[in-house]
């Protein structure tokens, strides 16, 4: 490799590397995972990562297949399932995972799982009782 090829390769790797983008997306996901119960808007997430909100949204979707908002909702629904299994009320669960409205929580929960939160919880309780008897 000639001197100029080495320099061009170095510049290309330094300027056009995806490492910074990948790191931004990974850190954003980690931030969402650790703060899912907070009011996380795209403006706030982009401010935390010092990047454009539109650029962050595109990157996140490219690497994870979901927008940050979609990922946050999925994370909250998964956590709410855990809380409901542990016996928290639907209302407590709703606010514990970061939803501001019981109605929107119930609607999203049903859309994602096919069941209302209360029906999901009743099924889990009856399932655990059956498992305990065997």
Residues 6+ away with beta carbon under 8 Å from 51:
24
Residue with tokens 């401010």: 47
Is residue 46 within 8 A of residue 53, CB to CB? The reply is yes
15 versus 56: the higher-pLDDT residue is: 56
Is residue 109 within 8 A of residue 120, CB to CB? The reply is yes
Indicate whether 134 pLDDT > 50: no
Q: What is the pLDDT of residue 53?
A: 92
Mean pLDDT of the chain: 88
Average pLDDT of the segment spanning 58-65: 92
Identify the burial level of 121 via C-beta atoms within 10 angstroms of its C-beta, where 0-12 means exposed, 13-18 middle and 19 or more buried: buried
Indicate whether 110 pLDDT > 90: yes
Domain parsing of the chain, residue ranges: 3-133
Q: Per-residue DSSP letters for the chain?
A: --HHHHHHHHHHHHHS-SHHHHHHHHHHHHHHHHSTTS---HHHHHHHTTS-HHHHHHHHHHHHSS-HHHHHHHHHHHHHHHHHHTT--HHHHHHHTT-S-HHHHHHHHHHHHSS-HHHHHHHHHHHHHHHHH-
Indicate whether 91 pLDDT > 90: yes
CATH assignment of 3-133, among 3.40.109.10, 3.50.50.100, 1.10.10.60, 1.10.3720.10: 1.10.10.60
Is residue 30 within 8 A of residue 40, CB to CB? The reply is no
Q: With bands split at pLDDT 50, 70 and 90, how would you rate the model's confidence at 120?
A: very high
- pLDDT above 70 covers what percent of the chain? 86
């Amino acid at each position: 490799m000639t001197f100029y090829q080495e320099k061009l390769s170095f510049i290309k790797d330094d300027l056009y590397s995806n490492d910074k983008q990948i790191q931004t997306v990974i850190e954003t996901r980690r931030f969402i995972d650790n703060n899912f119960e907070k009011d996380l808007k795209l403006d706030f997430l982009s401010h935390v990562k010092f990047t454009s909100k539109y650029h962050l949204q595109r990157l996140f979707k490219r690497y994870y297949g979901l927008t940050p908002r979609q990922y946050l909702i999925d994370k909250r629904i998964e956590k709410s399932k855990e809380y409901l299994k542990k016996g928290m009320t639907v209302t407590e669960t709703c606010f514990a995972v970061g939803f501001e409205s019981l109605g929107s929580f119930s609607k999203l929960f049903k859309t994602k799982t096919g069941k209302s939160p209360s029906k999901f919880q009743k099924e889990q309780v009856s399932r655990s009782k059956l498992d305990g008897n065997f």
